[in-house]
Amino acid sequence: MRLLLVEDDKDLNRQIAAALVDAGYAVDKAFDGEEGQFLGETEPYDAVVLDLGLPGLDGVSVLTNWRRAGHKMPVLILTARDRWSDKVQGFDAGADDYLAKPFHMEELLARLRALLRRAAGHATSELVSGSVRLDTRSGRVSVDGAVVKLTSHEYRLLSYLMHQSGRVVSRGELTEHLYDQDFDRDSNTIEVFVGRLRKKLGVDLIQTVRGLGYLVEGVGEKAGASG
Amino acid sequence: MQILAGRSIAVRLAVSSLFWSGVVLLVAGLILSTLYLRATERSFDERLLVYANDLAADLVTPTDSGTRDAGSLGDPRFEIPLSGWYWQLGRVDAATRDLRSSRSLLGNPLPTLAPPVADRPFGGIRKESVVGPEDRLLRLIERDIDLGEDGRFVVRVAGPADEISSAVRRFVLALILTFLLLGVGLGVSTLLQIRFGLRPLSDLRGAVSAVRRGEADRISGNYPGDVAPLAEELNLLLEANREILERARTQVGNLAHALKTPLSVIVNEADGPTVELSVRVREQAMLMRVQIEHYLQRARTAALAGTLGSVTDAAPVIEALARTFGKIFQDRDLAIEVSVASGARFRGERQDFEEMVGNLVDNACKWAVSRVRIRVDLGEDGDRNILRVVIEDDGPGLPEGARAVALKRGRRLDETKPGSGLGLSIVVELAGHYGGSLRLGSSRLGGAQAELALPGLGPA
């Protein structure tokens, strides 16, 4: 999952970015409204963490511009202004969630997980495909109940594919959504990681659709309701 | 005028105008009574002179008997003893003092007004007030008559001076009475004029106090040319004051918001391993957060007095809030039902209305199982329109005893639900500023009910 973080405070930006990377996301950072808006318009993000009090273009305008241009990625607004009028304004501009400063990092991560899940159409935090279960909350993956240890790159790949279950995901899309903009995308790492995942979780989980990409099939959720 | 320093303009005007009209009336009275005295004296003197001339004419005109006689003047008062009316006639050049007097004198002499004839030029008329018989004050006129070889005579005629003084006294009495009436009239008209003249000032005072009480946001009304600049200056002052307030409010807001980002950094930095330091830092950071919220709220409500006259349509606000809460709680499958009386309006700022209703709906959504209902209608309390906002949920509800506690600042009934615990107290404080109120009760939906009564307005 690739996220965009727009926050002008350098320390907070660094902290949030570190926490997001720790949680297994690829993160692009922007420090002002213009840069943030440009990245949001040009890169395919799975979600955005957007501070409202930005120098230059403010967050609400950035969000409004995105929505007007048809960008539908989930946006979590982060702001010090937490009157209900501010929140209403943010939600009306197209925000999907709202977090007031100061906040706890776990809260931010939980809200993001929920946003990503909802965007992918899943109702619960646990994604299931055959014997493989992925708990987005704890980041734990198990096969038939046995916990399997994954590296962060492996986890990202699996998580993205399982979020996009039932749909063929191209290698290009995977590259775009798994790595931040500074990553060297020419490498063949995707295939390497798919191979490792198959080794760890069974060859049936990720199918290769020749010429198109990869597919995780038969994915259902714990509740059985797949969106 | 030192004693008047610090008194009201009305008192100053009244006292000074009454003082000066008093002085003017007094001086006028003195002048008038003096003039009257003179005029009365003159006319009295003229009467005496007429008698004196009659006596002189008697001397000059030879009588049938051939003797010069001056006897009766035809006025009986000269016959009544000691009547105050006297005459005396005497020859002054002869050795034999041929002296005759009116009968009323009873032989008493009249005082002379001139030194003996030898010491002065003869002729002329002299008048004076003198003391006559029985120490009675007399007005005396004395005339020298030169008859050539027939001799030189001096005629004296006197009348009672109290006739003059009593006439003057009557006149002065009438004058005092008239001037008293005039003074009272002047005083009354002065007071009326002061009231009328100073009415713009008291109007202005009323307008200023209306601003202070928060019933108006500027001084309005027509003022005469000399007060209008003052009203204009006051309006500018109010404007400047409002700007300062607004700036201070914005700056408090900016400060509070600027503090929150570093506070986030601190909280996150401390969110590592649970060593004592990080626990303490988290604790203190939380306290700071609560303080910031509190003072932010204080700054917001403090500026409410300057935001009069604004009106907010209830329906768009409620709908926007319902939309927002639908998004916030979209995982929970809550049904948020909204019904707003058409045209219902809130007399106040949109932000404050959103803050009050938002906090209440937030609470309702947190506790609700599946339903939240927001109803807005208009009622009346006497001649005031009341906007009633009722928010219900089907959650566990609020026991009677817990309701008062819930309204206190910083109280949270359940620490497991997120929130700073400021919500309800903010609602109470804001509603209080608008003269409204918040009541907690139980809902027919099974959960809690919050009823907000605010100043309202019917359809435009």
Cβ-based contacts of B362 with chain A (< 8 Å): 84
The interface pTM score, or ipTM, of the predicted complex is: 0.71
Q: What is the CATH number of domain A126-221?
A: 1.10.10.10
Cβ-based contacts of B321 with chain A (< 8 Å): 84, 88
Which residue of B265, B278, B287, B294 is the best one to mutate when testing the A interface, meaning the one whose CB has the most A CBs within 10 A? B265
Determine contact, residues A101/A53, Cβ cutoff 8 Å.
no
**Cβ B264–A103 below 8 Å, yes or no?**
yes
How do the domains of chain B map onto residue ranges? 64-161, 229-306, 312-457
**A92 near B CB under 8 A:** yes
Cβ-based contacts of A98 with chain B (< 8 Å): 328
| Of residues A136, A35, A52, the one with CA closest to residue A89 | A52
Which residue among A80, A85, A87 places its CB closest to the CB of B261?
A80
CATH 1.10.10.10 in chain A, residue ranges: 126-221
φ, ψ for residue B205, nearest 5 deg? -60, -40
Rounded mean pLDDT of B20-32?
Answer: 92
CATH 3.40.50.2300 in chain A, residue ranges: 2-120
CB-based burial of residue A199 (10 Å sphere; 0-12 exposed, 13-18 middle, 19+ buried)?
Answer: exposed
| Of residues A33, A28, A122, the one with CA closest to residue B331 | A122
Determine contact, residues A190/A160, Cβ cutoff 8 Å.
no
**Cβ A9–B261 below 8 Å, yes or no?**
yes
Determine contact, residues B407/B398, Cβ cutoff 8 Å.
no
Per residue in B101-111, pLDDT (tens digit) is: 888 888 888 88
Domain A2-120 CATH assignment equals 2.60.40.720: no
Cβ-based contacts of A81 with chain B (< 8 Å): 257
User: Distance between alpha carbon B48 and the CA centroid of its chain, in Å?
Assistant: 62
**pLDDT for the residue A154:** 86
> A154: which 2 tokens?
């492996």
Q: How many helices (H) and strands (E) does chain A have?
A: 8, 12
Rounded (10°) CA dihedral B71, B75, B80, B81? -50
> A79: which 2 tokens?
């702001």
Burial state string for B335-369 with b = 16 or more CB within 10 A and e = fewer than 16: ebebebbeebbbbbbbbbbbbbbbbbbbbbbbbbe
What DSSP state is assigned to residue B133?
A: G
Q: Which of B360-369, B407-416, B429-438 has the lowest mean pLDDT?
A: B407-416
Query: How far is the C-alpha of B237 from the C-alpha of B250, rounded, in Å?
Result: 20
Topology of domain B312-457, per CATH? Heat Shock Protein 90 (3.30.565)
Cβ-based contacts of A106 with chain B (< 8 Å): 271
Q: Which residues of B touch A (CB under 8 A)?
A: 256-258, 260-269, 271, 285, 289, 300, 320-321, 323-324, 327-328, 330-331, 350-351, 354-355, 357-359, 362
Query: How far is the C-alpha of A181 from the C-alpha of A129, rounded, in Å?
Result: 30
Which amino acid, one-letter code, is at B76?
P
Confidence of residue B72 (pLDDT cuts 50, 70, 90): low
Strand-pair category, B345-346 with B312-313: antiparallel
**pLDDT for the residue B161:** 87
Residue B61 pLDDT > 60, yes or no? yes
Per residue in B405-424, pLDDT (tens digit) is: 777 655 544 544 445 455 78
CB count within 10 Å of CB B226 equals: 9
Q: What are the residues whose beta carbons fall under 8 Å from the beta carbon of B238, sequence distance 6 or more? A: B211, B217, B218, B219
Report the chain A residue with the minimal C-alpha distance to residue B287: A102
**A118 near B CB under 8 A:** yes
- Which helix (H) or strand (E) element contains residue B119? none
Residue B460 pLDDT > 50, yes or no? yes
Rounded mean pLDDT of B285-311?
Answer: 74
Calculate ∠ Cα B162-B166-B168, nearest 5°.
Answer: 115
CB-based burial of residue B292 (10 Å sphere; 0-12 exposed, 13-18 middle, 19+ buried)?
Answer: buried
Top CATH class of B64-161 equals alpha beta
**Cβ A103–B320 below 8 Å, yes or no?**
no
Per residue in B248-282, pLDDT (tens digit) is: 877 887 887 788 888 888 888 887 677 888 888 88
Report the chain B residue with the minimal C-alpha distance to residue A108: B268
Residue A227 pLDDT > 70, yes or no? no
**A171 near B CB under 8 A:** no
Q: How far is CA A82 from CA A24, A88, B138, B359, in A?
A: 29, 10, 107, 11
**Cβ B268–A85 below 8 Å, yes or no?**
no
